Amino acid sequence: MVISWHSGVAAGPEMATALYIVIQSRGKWWVDFEGRAHGPHDSREVAAMEARNQAQFMAHMDRPSEVLVPDADGKFWVVWDSRKATAGVPTRVNEQTRAA
């Protein structure tokens, strides 16, 4: 097992995935990370981009990160995953397909 150190914190494959979850509350959009809401944002898309920025920062510290965004029905989709990221651009929620 390989463990690297950043800022005195162990990082590596055993680290839990950092989940950045876009939520709506009181008519605004927020990014929830480990129980703390960041925002507000005027739209789901703006919140998703902010979540991706935060997730990219965490990924640069060797912690796997994902961004989850709800669709119109309230189902959450992973729109960005540091393990699969190439360009760093989130997938649009309305482009997701559901299994029948």
User: DSSP letters of 19-63?
Assistant: EEEEEEETTEEEEEETTEEEEEESSHHHHHHHHHHHHHHHHTTT-
Give the end-to-end CA distance of the chain in Å, rounded to a whole number: 39
For 3, 9, 15, 19, 82, the CA distances from 52, given in Å and listed in that order, are 25, 22, 19, 10, 9
Reply yes or no on whether the pLDDT at 17 is more than 90.
yes
Does this model's pTM top 0.85?
no
pLDDT tens per residue across span 40-86? 999 999 999 999 999 999 999 999 999 999 999 999 999 999 998 76
Quick one: pLDDT at residue 15? Answer: 81
Q: Give the pLDDT band of residue 100 (cuts 50, 70, 90).
A: very low
Structural domain spans, the chain = 21-68
